[in-house]
Chain A
């Protein structure tokens, strides 16, 4: 697509429920990043994919968080047993590739998915 698309834009759920957030990156972009942003804070790295594989998942806070990108395009961030502290805007970004310095590694962000856990 023309830009990075994230759905849903808003999700309200109850504590303990399961949530899936979807990211559709720019067509042809091989690298895909997930970030979490709380109010007044900078984007906090969660995970990034190069193709289908998770190249770095060091930012996932605990084992309740999991992300997949089975065909190297669309990615889903899955959160089990949600907690109130998971409330934040979840941002997805893609780039042509992860490495290099030519500009192919510039991140294009989606509008984000705002998650509220009651």
Chain B
């Protein structure tokens, strides 16, 4: 079945440093979504990418969808302590509406 992997699994950064997480799917995706889960919380939607090569920005966050629609990345510029949490990508493939979540990247920001 479809597998979605993310690297790295954990990332510790000093406040103000940049952070990037990479998402790779075993199958071509029709779209990809990103979610953030704070410690003790539930996943909360951040953004959706649909088109090949698409790039979207939300303040300090930049999201990219690969040309082959099998990978994606999330880049955070100048991290803040409020960025702490686990970031998940989640994808749909083909005509299926099953949403498969990635393995997640846990971000810790050191003040």
A interface residues with partner B (beta carbon < 8 Å): 31, 33, 35, 40-45, 48, 50, 55-56, 58-59, 91, 93, 98-99, 101, 103, 105-112
Contact of A33 among B45, B96, B99, B102 (CB under 8 A): B99
Residues on A with C-beta less than 8 A from B31 are: 101, 105
- Residues of chain B with a CB closer than 8 A to A103's CB: 48
Chain B residues close to A by CB (< 8 Å) = 1, 6, 30-31, 33, 35, 41-45, 48, 50, 88, 90, 92, 96-104, 106
Q: Are A42 and B42 in contact (CB under 8 A)?
A: no
Q: Is the CB of A98 within 8 A of B97?
A: yes
Q: Min CB distance, B69 to chain A, in Å?
A: 12
Q: A41-B103, A41-B104, A42-B104 are in contact. Are A106 and B97 (CB under 8 A)?
A: no
Q: Are B97 and A109 in contact (CB-based, < 8 A)?
A: no
Give the Cβ gap from A88 to chain B, nearest Cβ, in Å: 13
Residue pair A105, B103 in contact (C-beta under 8 Å): no
The reply to whether A109 and B43 contact each other, CB–CB distance below 8 Å, is yes
Give the contacting residue for B101; candidates A42, A50, A112; CB below 8 A: A42
CB pair B98–A91 under 8 Å, yes or no, is no
Residues of A within 8 A of B45 (CB): 106-108
CB distance from A50 to the nearest CB of B (A): 7
Contact present for A56 and B104 (CB under 8 Å): no
Q: What are the residues of chain B within 8 A of A111 when measuring CB–CB?
A: 41-42
Q: Are A107 and B97 interface neighbours, CB within 8 A?
A: no
A31 touching B97, Cβ below 8 Å: yes
Smallest CB-CB A-B distances: 3 pairs: A98-B97, A109-B42, A42-B101
Are B43 and A43 in contact, CB atoms less than 8 angstroms apart? Answer: yes
Within 8 Å CB of B43, what residues of A? Answer: 43, 91, 93, 107, 109
CA distance A109 to B88 in the complex (A): 14
Complex Cα distance, B1 from A45, in Å, reads: 12
CA distance A48 to B98 in the complex (A): 7
Complex CA gap A43/B96 in Å reads 18
If A103-B48, A107-B33 touch, whether A45 touches B98 (CB-CB below 8 Å) is yes
